Amino acid sequence: MTDLTRRRVLGLGACTFVSAVLAGQIPVRAADGSTLTIAFNANLPSFDGTVGPSGVNPAIQAIYRSIFDQYIGQAPDLSFQPGILTAWGWNDDKTKVWMDVRPGVSWHDGSALTPEDVVWSLERAAKPETGNPVQGVWAGIGNFKIDGQRITGDVKSFDPTIFKWMAFLTGYVLPKAYYEKVGAAGFEKKPIGSGPYMVDAYEGNAYLRLKANPHYFGGKPAFETVIFKFVTDPTSRVAEIESGAADVTLEVPYEEFDRLKAKSGLAGISTPISDIGMIFVTNEGPMLDKNVRLAAHHAIDKDGIVKRLLRGYGVPIDTLEAPQYAAFDPSIKVGYDPKKAVDLLAASGFSKDKPVKFKIQTTRGLKPKDYEMIQAIVGMWRKVGIEAEIEVYEIAKHYELRAAHKLAPAAFYNWGNAIGDPTTSTGFAMFSKTPHSAWKTEDLDAKIGPLWGEKDEEKRIAGWKAVDKYIAEEGYVIPLLQYVQPILYKSTLKVTPNVSSALQPTLITGA
Residues 394, 445 within the same domain: yes
Residues 390, 469 within the same domain: yes
Q: Is 55 inside a domain boundary?
A: no
Q: Is 56 inside a domain boundary?
A: no
Cβ proximity of 429 and 436 under 8 Å = yes
pLDDT digits (tens, 9 = 90+) for 479-511: 999 999 999 999 999 999 999 999 999 999 998
Q: Is 371 inside a domain boundary?
A: yes
Which contiguous run of DSSP H or E holds residue 121?
Answer: helix 115-126
pLDDT at 175 over 50: yes
What φ, ψ does residue 466 adopt, rounded to 5°? Answer: -65, -40
Q: Is 58 inside a domain boundary?
A: no
Average pLDDT over every residue of 369-389? 98
Give the strand pairing for 410-416 and 266-281: antiparallel
Q: So what's the pLDDT on residue 203?
A: 95
Confidence band for 100, pLDDT divided at 50, 70 and 90: very high
Average pLDDT over every residue of 119-129? 98
Residues 224, 287 within the same domain: no
> Which of the listed residues 176, 209, 244 is the one where a domain comes to its end?
176
Measured CA distances, 269 to 18, 55, 366, 489 (Å): 26, 27, 18, 9
pLDDT exceeding 90 applies to what percent of the chain? 90
Per residue in 78-93, is it b (16+ CB within 10 Å) or e — as a string? beeeebbbeebebeee
pLDDT at 408 over 60: yes
Q: So what's the pLDDT on residue 390?
A: 98
Residues 186, 164 within the same domain: no
Q: So what's the pLDDT on residue 25?
A: 37
Q: So what's the pLDDT on residue 324?
A: 87
Measured CA distances, 432 to 157, 283, 309 (Å): 19, 11, 33
pLDDT at 16 over 80: no
Average pLDDT over every residue of 30-34? 55
Q: So what's the pLDDT on residue 29?
A: 43
Q: So what's the pLDDT on residue 22?
A: 40
User: What is the spatial distance between Cα 50 and Cα 212, in angstroms, rounded to a whole number?
Assistant: 23
Confidence band for 31, pLDDT divided at 50, 70 and 90: very low
Cβ proximity of 395 and 381 under 8 Å = no
Q: Is 59 inside a domain boundary?
A: no
Residues 27, 156 within the same domain: no
pLDDT at 5 over 80: no
Average pLDDT over every residue of 255-265? 97
Number of domains in the chain: 3
Q: So what's the pLDDT on residue 410?
A: 98
- 145: domain CATH number is 3.90.76.10
> What is the DSSP secondary-structure string of 280-340?
EE-SSGGGGSHHHHHHHHHT--HHHIIIIISTT-EEE-SSS--TTSTT--TT------HHH
Q: So what's the pLDDT on residue 206?
A: 96
Confidence band for 41, pLDDT divided at 50, 70 and 90: very high
Cβ proximity of 224 and 34 under 8 Å = yes
Which amino acid makes up residue 347? A
Residues 317, 457 within the same domain: yes
Give me the sign of the Cα torsion angle 121, 123, 126, 129: negative
Q: Is 378 inside a domain boundary?
A: yes
Residues 246, 265 within the same domain: yes
Average pLDDT over every residue of 242-255? 96
Lowest mean pLDDT among 50-59, 251-260, 325-334, 369-378: 50-59
Residues 205, 231 within the same domain: yes
> Which of the listed residues 143, 176, 209 is the one where a domain comes to its end?
176
Q: So what's the pLDDT on residue 455?
A: 87
Residues 239, 170 within the same domain: no
Residues 260, 239 within the same domain: yes
Confidence band for 396, pLDDT divided at 50, 70 and 90: confident
Average pLDDT over every residue of 196-213? 97
Under 8 Å CB-to-CB from 84, ≥6 apart: which residues?
A: 69, 70, 71, 72, 101, 102, 105, 113, 118, 173, 194
Residues 170, 185 within the same domain: no
CA 250 to chain centre: 14
Q: Is 392 inside a domain boundary?
A: yes
pLDDT at 89 over 60: yes
Give the strand pairing for 410-416 and 248-250: unpaired
> Which of the listed residues 118, 151, 176 is the one where a domain comes to its end?
176
Cβ proximity of 363 and 393 under 8 Å = yes
Average pLDDT over every residue of 178-193? 97
Cβ proximity of 322 and 417 under 8 Å = yes
Q: So what's the pLDDT on residue 453?
A: 87
Confidence band for 15, pLDDT divided at 50, 70 and 90: very low
Average pLDDT over every residue of 274-278? 95
Give the strand pairing for 248-250 and 35-40: parallel
Confidence band for 24, pLDDT divided at 50, 70 and 90: very low
Domain that residue 80 falls in: 69-176
User: What is the spatial distance between Cα 293 and Cα 427, in angstroms, rounded to a whole number?
Assistant: 20
pLDDT at 21 over 90: no
What φ, ψ does residue 488 adopt, rounded to 5°? Answer: -110, 145
Q: Is 158 inside a domain boundary?
A: yes
Residues 424, 473 within the same domain: yes
pLDDT at 340 over 50: yes
pLDDT at 6 over 60: no
Mean pLDDT, the chain, rounded, equals 92
User: What is the spatial distance between Cα 171 and Cα 85, in angstroms, rounded to a whole number?
Assistant: 12
